[in-house]
Amino acid sequence: MRKTLLSMCKQKLIRGGVKSGLLFLFAMFFSVAMYAEKYDLPIAAIGTSGWGDTSSDGNGAITYITAWTGCGWWLAPDDIPTDLSAFKKLIIKFESLPFPVRIVIEYDGVSNSSKDIITGETIGEVVLNTEGASKVKQVYIQSGNGGVGTIIVKEAYFTDDDNDNGEEGPIGTPVELHLSGSQGKNLLLEEFVDFPDTTPIEVVLTIASTTTTPTAPGWGVGFILSIDWAGNKYEFIAKEVTPEGAENKYSFTAGQFKEWAKDNDGEYIVDQYGQSGLAVNVYNGATVTSITAYTSGDGIAPVYPADLIRNTAGGIIVNAANEKVSIYGFDGRMIKQTVSGKGTITLPQGLYIVKAGTAKAVKVIVK
């Protein structure tokens, strides 16, 4: 079944009713398919395929009035399927999904390829069936269980690049954030509070071993919680689980972390030790490989480069090789200057700017 361009998807397409403008639009995209590394599905053409009570606004928004309905792209003008055998997979990028969806590639005479994408995900990937890749009829996005509402499609394309997973990677200067506490499970507020809300933060988990054997991705591996462990804020779901272990990347913003660290009144939660921030709890063989903020590179990063300088109770820990360490108050006045190797420099509580050798100056909070 197919639809007229940008029409309400709730009516079945009358096969002779595709406008010449639609044919021209797809002809332009199809003509380059065999020569491009990336084959774009135009956002404006969402709604040319689908069924049920759905609609598209032409700018990427698909609204599902009822669950288990679909909307997408018709790829067989004049009932001639498109040859996409030069490509290996389909990638669709979303704004964070409010409910689960299923991405489906339909072929002529070959079983469909599909992939279920869970709530909260932003990227869906479906591998093309090599037997059907030369005769693709349509691509559609079907709403799943409870799938009533609107999703936003940001980009959709076929690619011949095995390494393209849809993730462009955070842009900016990487700055490592540190877990602390007796078991290294607290991400203290001071690690992320000074970043602008839009700063990307990437958490990487590694499944190095397993205490139970998962049968498929979707196996839970932990949570981000409020620092008092009173509520789950985000559930880590294993995206890749192999016997050798695999990196699982999760994308957030500093703004999300700040909100999760607050109570219902908008105040930062304080635990029994007087700390604010978040707790990160992973299990079943999962470990936190890294938590990285990606800054614009301007100003002073509120974290410590490569563990060179860290805060501790009543001072800072310096892990240098006989470097000159300069410590300034936040007003710019020099507080102390010394040559230090690995050791602790005692300081009263306060906010300091610390520079060791030629490393970038960092902001350190001493409690």
Tokens of 117: 């994408």
The owner of tokens 């030069």 is 86
Residues 353 and 243 in one domain: no
End-of-domain residue from the set 159, 194, 225: 159
3-state class (DSSP) for residue 24: helix
Q: Could you tell me the pLDDT band of residue 306, with boundaries at 50, 70 and 90?
A: very low
Q: What is the mean pLDDT of the chain?
A: 78
Tell me, what CATH number does 314's domain have?
2.60.40
Tokens of 216: 């498929």
Q: Please tell me the pTM assigned to this model.
A: 0.44
Q: Could you tell me the pLDDT band of residue 341, with boundaries at 50, 70 and 90?
A: low
Q: What digits encode the pLDDT tens for the residues 215-227?
A: 555 567 889 999 9
Residues 190 and 297 in one domain: yes
Residue 9 is assigned to a structural domain of this protein: no
Q: Quick check: 44 and 21 in contact, CB under 8 A?
A: no
Residues 203 and 292 in one domain: yes
| 58 has a pLDDT exceeding 50 | yes
Tokens of 168: 């462009």
Tokens of 228: 């008092």
Distance between CA 357 and CA 345 in Å, rounded? Answer: 15
16 — alpha (psi -120 to 50), left (phi > 0) or beta? alpha
Residues 99 and 137 in one domain: yes
Total domains, the chain? 3
Residues 122 and 69 in one domain: yes
**pLDDT score at 219:** 64
Range of the domain at 128: 15-159
Residue 264 is assigned to a structural domain of this protein: yes
What percentage of the chain exceeds 70 in pLDDT? 74
| 182 has a pLDDT exceeding 80 | no
Residues 357 and 265 in one domain: no
Of the two residues 130 and 296, the one the predictor is more confident about is: 130
Q: What digits encode the pLDDT tens for the residues 187-202?
A: 999 999 988 888 889 8
Q: Which of 179-183, 198-202, 355-359 has the highest mean pLDDT?
A: 198-202
- Terminal-to-terminal C-alpha distance of the chain: 65
